[in-house]
Structure 1
Amino acid sequence: MSRNHDLFARAQKTIPGGVNSPVRAFCSVGGTPCFIERALGPHFWDADGKRYIDYIGSWGPMILGHLDAQVLAAVQTALTRGFSFGTPTEAEIEMAEEICKLVPSIEQVRLVSSGTEATMSALRLARGFTGRHRIIKFSGCYHGHADSLLIKAGSGLLSFGQPTSAGVPEAIAQHTTVLEYNNLAQLSETFASIGEEIAAVIVEPIAGNMNLVRGTPEFLRLLRELCTQHGALLIFDEVMSGFRVALGGAQALYGITPDLSCLGKIIGGGMPAAAFGGRRDIMAHLAPLGAVYQAGTLAGNPLAVAAGLATLKRLQAPNFYDQLEARTARLTAGLTQAAHEAGMTFSTDHVGGMFGLYFAAHRPTSLAEVSHSNLDNFKPFFHHMLAAGVYFAPSAYEAGFVSITHDDTVIDTTLAAARMTFAALQR
């Protein structure tokens, strides 16, 4: 009997669904989740001792691979000084200075412990700064599990949003309007109708939670123009794309300056850390300077800050992102070729160290297009690759991640498994 099976059965007795984050339960692909015991470089090993090539990278943070020597050394040094103090530390200042240096739109930054905290706090700050209540978000963009963000579109263009989770009051949902990602006409019409009510627009400039879907340059430019015109704040949620697609994040690639940015994942180097920041005049509304309250006991945790700082310094090595981009491109090009040789309808996309896989003829531009791809093909693809020792995200709605340790040998092994998988799917 597999230890994975035993552990999953045991976990379900004391943990809802047996997992502490829903996607880990394999609900969309079926089967028993892998319980991971250790990791190194581009690999991890499950409770049965099986090794996998890891393409989730803890959902993005492990851009250097697992247990990078410099990050490990930084954490070990910090560990000898104490786990948590609940007081300011010099390392927090260094982290803030590093983020402000690398992301020019951020003049001041507040450290928190999770991406959800970052987006939730940025929205509260936007409302406090503008004195408005309405938030605009987009279908398929995930910004954490705060109440005002677990909202789906209503039945009409400007109808009130509807909660996507039990426990979210409709009164909260009514302050959130949900639009279609990359739909310029809908965006313009919304601002023309209710622009003076909008406190902020929050968007993933490169979405990673409906699979990888890029915001078009035209869409993001229009967002910037409309927010400026109507006095709303533009919030870039770069919890996933920040430092993953480029050193300055997606905003550096697109050349667009948001008013606030949310960061996470990579800035903790795999440990719980996130941040939100932006213009100095907006950030001045945060307590203790202003009336917008936000606090966190473990914010700026010394171990997480040590891991994050060591990671950010490694990312500034010459040609780091050129190498990462090349490895990701090699993977996606090889997967596309393998699928087409087998006669499968399949496409890919990638930006920096993020990638998307779609059982569709063309890369999608919205949640609706992702949903219209052949999702039935993903489940057997996932399980064939898992059996071959390649761990992709267990959902057709999640992006994948490559680390700098995914070298040619690792990618060649992945592509060999993919060729066998696509051939098997066509039988």
Structure 2
Amino acid sequence: GRRYVDYVGAWGPAILGHGHPADIGAIVAAAANGLALGATNPLEIELGEAIRAAMPSIARLRFTSSGTEAVMSALRVARAATGRDLIAKFAGAYHGHADGLLVEAGSGVATLAIAGSAGVPGALAATTIVLPYNDLTAVTAAFVEHPGRIAAVIVEPVAANSGVIAPAPGFLEGLRETSRAHGALLVFDEVITGFRLGLGGAQVRFGVRPDLTTLGKIIGGGMPIGAYGGRADLMELVAPAGPVYQAGTLSGHPLSMAAGLATLAEVTPDRYVALEETATNLTEGLTEAAAQAGRTVAIERVGSLLTVFFRATVPRDAAEALASDRAAYARFFGSMLDQGVLLPPSQFEAWFLSMAHGPAEIEATIAAAHVAFEASLG
């Protein structure tokens, strides 16, 4: 088979690269003790404590089998805690494939130009309010229009499903203040950004403390996983202590816990510093390659997440991202693939760098980009 320099990274979990010995060894060792046990296992407690230590907003947490389940559960807690029914999300944000959240959900949906999904009842979609990212005025207006009805605002603190869109200065802080002022909860969906933008995720990087957080991807080391957690008073609502039901046969699976623990042991602060440097070098090289080819692009990067937008300026929201030149990106993608560099096939997916990317891989990527940007001109 062919070898590729991979920037898909299993859509985010593979921060150590593929088949890292620490992950494989931990999985094999855990499997020797049995697979699904139907009871809490010590690894579950250890991983939970590691996550709590990294994210001060999480006093308690529960594991699920996917990020979708984590978001479903967190929003159920939010509705129970507030006694309200509406959820506010942002256009282009993907929060899993739960029916009520498949509304302007970005990435693959954006690529197909489909607003949502078949099979989603209108009554469910009506419980979701969709707002433009980076627009605090629209957020305030939604609370005024729906007084006492919005249970939570859920946000990707760095939007990554319309391509990478950074939060404008003050946006996350404004969400914190506005939601609190109106009696709603703030939920950070850190399934992508958790342990990717640093040990504390986006909430520590930007210094904004949410009420609830959802996690996935990296915390499972490539195995299926999700988690949600937050303030103790909110998590006390979850059964068996409280009235909010959530369970799963394979939640807290020993193999996922083992792989997650092995991964978190590897992602030390110094390695995040090195990863940031790698991402900076790649971004600078891509910028120079595009300029030499005469191809107008705008590259947005936050940590080890980046997108090359085929447009003149970095977008502030999904609507601006959708104005990118998709045909040019398709030509660029095809040329890179032919040269052995695997990118997300959609203009609206993030590139994921890993700690396995070294100088040789970055140099090869930049060399390929010189050719691919020329090819993108058509």
TM over 0.5, yes or no?
A: yes
3-state SS, counterpart of residue 242 of structure 1: coil
Instruction: Name the structure 2 match of 1:351.
Output: 302
**Alignment partner for residue 158 of structure 2, among 206, 225, 239?**
206
Residue 410 (structure 1) aligned with residue 366 (structure 2): no
Q: Residue deviations 1:19-67, cap 9 Å, x none? A: xxxxxxxxxxxxxxxxxxxxxxxxxxxxxx0111110100001101111
Contact 2:102-2:116 within 8 A present in 1 as well: yes
Where 1:292 maps in the other structure, the secondary structure is coil
SS of alignment partner, residue 181 of structure 1:
coil
* Match for residue 195 of structure 2 among 243, 256, 280: 243
Give structure 2 stretches of 5+ with no counterpart: 106-113
Quick check: 1:169 aligned with 2:121? yes
Higher relative contact order (CA 8 A, sep 6+): 2
Describe the superposition over 1:71-121 as per-residue Cα deviations: whole angstroms up to 9, x where unpaired: 221111111111110111111111111111001000000000101001111
One-letter identity of the residue aligned with 1:248: G
Q: Does 1:299 align with 2:234?
A: no
- Give the aligned partner of residue 59 of structure 1: 11
**Which residue identity lines up with residue 254 of structure 1 in the other structure?**
F
Q: Please identify, of 205-214 and 215-224, the stretch whose mean Cα deviation from structure 2 is larger.
A: 215-224
Aligned-partner SS, 2:272: helix
Within a 5 Å distance, the mapping from 1:279-318 to structure 2 comes to 279-316=231-268, 318=269
Match in the other structure for 1:339: 290
- 2:9 match: secondary structure: coil
Residue 220 of structure 1 and its aligned partner are, at CA, apart by 1.1
Deviation at 1:424, TM superposition (A): 3.0
Counterpart position of 1:151: 103
Identical columns (%):
50
Matched positions, count: 370
Deviation at 1:423, TM superposition (A): 2.3
Q: Secondary structure at the match of 1:217?
A: coil
> What is the match of residue 376 of structure 2?
425
| Native 8 Å contact 2:328 2:377 kept in 1 | no
What amino acid sits opposite 2:72 in the alignment? M
**TM-score normalised according to structure 1 size:** 0.85
Q: Which amino acid aligns with 2:257?
A: V
**Partner of residue 111, structure 2:** none
How far is 1:136 from its partner?
0.3
2:39 matched to 1:87? yes
Greater CA deviation, 191-200 or 171-180? Answer: 191-200
Find the aligned partners of 1:264 and 1:315 in 2 and give their Cα distance: 15
Partner-residue secondary structure (3-state), 1:148: helix
TM-score using structure 2 length: 0.95
Q: Does 1:73 align with 2:25?
A: yes
Match of residue 56 from structure 2: 104
Residue in structure 1 matched with residue 109 of structure 2 by the alignment:
none
Q: Which residue of 2 is the match for residue 265 of structure 1? A: 217
**1:254 and 2:206 correspond:** yes
CA contact (8 A) 1:267 1:309 kept: yes
Map of 1:226 onto structure 2: 178
The answer to whether 1:363 aligns with 2:311 is no
Residue 75 of structure 2 aligns to which amino acid in structure 1?
Answer: L
Structure 1 position 137, deviation (Å): 0.5
CA distance in 2, matches of 1:67, 1:425: 33
**The one of 327, 330, 333 aligned to 1:379:** 330
Deviation at 1:163, TM superposition (A): 7.1
Q: Counterpart in 1 of 2:350?
A: 399
CA distance in structure 1 between the aligned counterparts of 2:167 and 2:100, rounded to whole angstroms? 22
SS in 1 for 2:148: helix
The one-letter amino acid paired with 1:373 is S
CA deviation digits over 1:277-322, x for unaligned, max 9? Answer: 0000000000111111000000010001000011111112x41111
Counterpart in the other structure of 2:271: 320
Q: Distance in 2 between matches of 1:111 and 1:348?
A: 35
**Whole-Å separation in 2 of the counterparts to 1:368 and 1:173:** 20
What CA distance in whole angstroms lies between the structure 2 residues aligned with 1:219 and 1:197? Answer: 22
Distance 1:110 1:78 in 2: 20
- Matches of 1:321 and 1:210 in 2, distance apart? 24
What do the CA deviations read for 1:323-349 (whole angstroms, capped 9, x no partner)? 011111111111111011110011212
1:97 aligned partner, one-letter code: E
